[in-house]
Amino acid sequence: GNLSCIMSLPSSFARMSRACMMMMVMIVPFGGVVVGAFTPVPVANKRTSYLQVTNFLQDIQTKFGANTSNKVKSPKVELPANFVVPEPKPLTVTRPEDLPELLKSSVALGLRLGTGAFTLGWKIDSLTAPEDGKYALQLGPIRLRDSSSVLADAPRPTTPLIIYEYEASPFCRRVREIVNLLDLTVEYRPCPGARAGFSDELYARTGRRTVPYLVDPNTGTEMFESDDQIEYLLEAYGPSKETYDRKALWPITFKIFSVATSGFAAIVRDFAGSRPKANARPDNLQMQPLELWGYECSPFVRPVREKLSELCLPHRLVSCSRGSLNRDKMMARTGRFQVPFLVDPNTGIEMFEGPEICEYLEKVYTTAK
């Protein structure tokens, strides 16, 4: 069953093949399996089986129902005139006017007790780490190297998970924090206020506009409810329960506390990211997902996340909390570690510096001239 072979068959035979495939799919609700790319995927329960079948039928129609020469391409974007990638300046406020925003982000960090700053099972490996190209925090004569004591053998998703959410939602924040603790890479599809951005796509998929909504393409699992998503992520991609103390998760799992403090953090940030920008390009939803390296509680990363949410730009967040293996990956890629770090496949730009990233996004992904 090589799908590419079907696409090269004569048109009449291809139509017949597609019809046969559609007939195979029709037996899914009765047989209890979903045939996805010819790989059986167990249906979790009757409630989700219809949704999985519907999504699969839509996928089949997308792949085989149209002329392959008419594939949708990402919209064209251009760099601002005379654009220059800024020099990275780690842990530095380069412009006094950025200080109020940094202070408000720091207050939000404090309200959430710095949750997400460290991976689950964080530990110090060495205070005298050698200069071998791997990440280490230099503090005078000390070179601190850290890692997670429990995530090394934890399952990792082959394909990034997808979460429909928006920055200011306290329920979405809980899920984003557990994503950081587990050192996962997730594609976020912003739905500002749960009514804009990818909200229409979410409604077409589920019949609801409730966020957060988690999609795991690795298992075929999809679900609402932040509590359920947290438990699912711990079960599917967390370490063995015997290797860590679950009490360490209380800032997230103690729901009243986590929702209240996340709500206060949103108030401090003036609910940034909860409303779409009026001048955002209407085709931003069709852009290739941008790649943002960072972590939830960083006061330098937060304004970039808010901007991406307001512009309704899909983006893949690479978790870089303390103890994350992704810090070594950034060192290998760029020769340094600093967040936020943005990779834009739509323009080919890679850049550090949060304020400059926000300005770049504003210039490239709005209709303002």
DSSP 87-123: PP-TT---SGGGHHHHHHHHHHHHHTTTTTSB-TTEE
% of the chain surpassing 70 pLDDT: 80
Tell me which of 37 and 209 has the higher pLDDT: 209
What count of other Cβ atoms lies within 10 Å of the Cβ of residue 39? 10
Return the minimum-mean-pLDDT range out of 19-28, 46-55, 186-195, 272-281: 19-28
* pLDDT band for position 72 (cuts 50, 70, 90): low
Given a contact cutoff of 8 angstroms between Cβ atoms, the answer to whether 5 and 14 are in contact is no
Asked whether the whole model's pTM tops 0.75, one would answer yes
Of 101-105, 155-159, 194-198, the one with minimum mean pLDDT is 101-105
pLDDT band for 178, please (50, 70, 90 cuts): very high
Residue 35 has pLDDT above 50, yes or no: no
pLDDT at 225: 97
* HSE toward the beta carbon, residue 8, CA cutoff 13 A: 4
pLDDT of residue 92: 77
Mean pLDDT over each residue of the chain, to the nearest integer: 84
Banded pLDDT at 189 (limits 50, 70, 90):
very high
**More confident position, 90 or 152:** 152
Per-residue pLDDT, averaged over 215-234, amounts to: 98
What's the pLDDT score for residue 368? 66
Lookup: tokens for 17: 């093949």
Whether residue 294 contacts residue 340, with contact meaning beta carbons closer than 8 Å, is answered with yes
pLDDT number for residue 278: 94
Cα separation, 285 vs 306, in Å, equals 16
Exposed e or buried b per residue across 47-57, where buried means at least 16 C-beta atoms within 10 angstroms of its C-beta: eebeebbebbe
Place of tokens 């932040």: 226
pLDDT tops 80 at residue 339: yes
Pairing type for strands 315-319 and 185-190 reads antiparallel
Residues 148 and 125: their CA atoms lie apart, in Å, by 9
How many residues make up the chain in this entry?
369
- Which residue type does 129 have? A
Backbone angles phi, psi at 298, to 5 degrees: -65, 125
